[in-house]
């Protein structure tokens, strides 16, 4: 078990390149006790390197999807554009908690429909509107921002500091977005394809849990098992619904059950964050 670390820093920081947004969440904790075991150190390093790999892959996937989307829009290929848009949306859903959900980034990448005129014509929601409501060419206006966003994301991620507990907290945030903005208040209001977000977020959360699994198994196997069970239940629930379903095709009780499972999962990831607090990857840049 962890101990005797004089000073442990758990922090996440992102400098949003090219904008004025600077966000940081940082904690400094002094913990008395003994040092982590070699196995724990290795598991902590695995957690952060594994999670970082997922995040970088998502950023690269986002860039690739945006490029495909741009091409499809220019060719007037609606079906290919829809596929690329869904892939980009899925990548962004994984990245969202790493960006700390900052609305500044959301306006550029996400462009929530409810944000009002300021975010109209921006982000993936502008693309959604073009794909499902109307001329494809409308989506081109959002492309310059989106194309610039991909490389900026990758650059920004190199300045991201993440510790194992931060990985768990990111899953709390991802699930929070799922509950408060997707399940409670549909995001995809033109396409009515919120299942894209649901499945992408749960997939990302599972990736986060997998990254933490070795460390959590050493530190708090009971909590790990409980969290895993909750995620399995959510996946089992959604396996009964075709992935191509529109929001209305998903039965109300499924949404309600999913909402409650997500609330429990949030709590469990919060507990997990506490169990692994203080473990460091051993370097600032994960």
Q: Contact positions toward another protein, by CB under 8 A?
A: 7, 9-11, 13, 20-29, 100-104, 106-107, 112, 114-119, 165, 169, 172-173, 175-176, 179-181, 183-185, 255-256, 259-260, 262-263, 266-267, 269-270, 273-274, 277, 284
Reduce the DSSP state of residue 14 to 3 states and report it: strand
Cβ-proximal residues to 145 (8 Å cutoff; 6+ apart), any chain: 108, 109, 122, 123
Using an 8 Å Cβ cutoff, are 173 and 262 in contact? no
- Closest to another protein by CB, 74 vs 257, is 257
Q: How far is the CB of 30 from another protein (least distance, A)?
A: 11
Using an 8 Å Cβ cutoff, are 182 and 114 in contact? no
- Closest to another protein by CB, 46 vs 284, is 284
Q: How far is the CB of 84 from another protein (least distance, A)?
A: 25
Q: How far is the CB of 81 from another protein (least distance, A)?
A: 26
- Closest to another protein by CB, 49 vs 112, is 112
Query: What's the number of CA atoms in the CB half-sphere (13 Å) around residue 250?
Result: 24
Q: How far is the CB of 11 from another protein (least distance, A)?
A: 7
**Residue 27 is encoded by which pair of tokens?**
């904690």
- Closest to another protein by CB, 111 vs 207, is 111
DSSP code for 116: -
Q: What's the rounded Cα separation, in Å, for the pair 125 and 131?
A: 10
Q: What's the rounded Cα separation, in Å, for the pair 286 and 50?
A: 9
Q: How far is the CB of 268 from another protein (least distance, A)?
A: 8
Residue 49: how many other CB atoms lie within 10 Å: 15
- Closest to another protein by CB, 46 vs 267, is 267
H or E element that contains 214: helix 194-219
């Amino acid at each position: 078990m962890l101990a005797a670390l004089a000073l442990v820093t758990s922090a996440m920081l992102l400098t949003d390149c090219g904008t004025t947004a600077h966000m940081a969440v940082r904690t400094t904790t002094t913990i008395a006790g003994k040092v982590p075991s070699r196995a724990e150190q290795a598991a902590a390093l695995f957690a952060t390197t594994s999670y970082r790999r997922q995040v970088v892959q998502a950023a690269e996937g986002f860039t690739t999807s945006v490029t495909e989307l741009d091409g499809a829009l220019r060719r007037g290929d609606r079906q290919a554009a829809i596929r690329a848009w869904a892939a980009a949306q899925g990548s962004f859903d994984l990245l969202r908690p790493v960006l700390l959900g900052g609305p500044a980034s959301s306006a550029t990448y996400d462009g929530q429909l409810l944000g009002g005129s300021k975010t109209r014509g921006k982000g993936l929601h502008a693309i959604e509107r073009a794909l499902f409501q109307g001329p494809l060419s409308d989506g081109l206006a959002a492309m310059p921002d989106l194309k610039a966003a991909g490389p900026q994301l990758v650059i920004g991620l190199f300045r991201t500091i993440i510790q194992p507990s931060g990985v768990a907290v990111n899953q709390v945030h991802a699930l929070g977005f799922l509950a408060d903005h997707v399940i409670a208040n549909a995001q995809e209001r033109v396409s009515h394809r919120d299942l894209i977000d649901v499945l992408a977020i749960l997939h990302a959360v599972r990736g986060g849990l997998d990254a933490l699994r070795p460390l959590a198994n050493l530190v708090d196997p009971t909590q790990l098992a409980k969290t895993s069970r909750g995620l399995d239940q959510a996946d089992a629930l959604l396996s009964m619904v075709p992935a191509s379903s529109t929001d209305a095709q998903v039965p109300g009780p499924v949404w309600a059950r999913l909402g409650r499972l997500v609330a429990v999962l949030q709590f469990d990831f919060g507990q997990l964050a506490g169990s692994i607090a203080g473990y460091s990857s051993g370097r600032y840049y994960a």
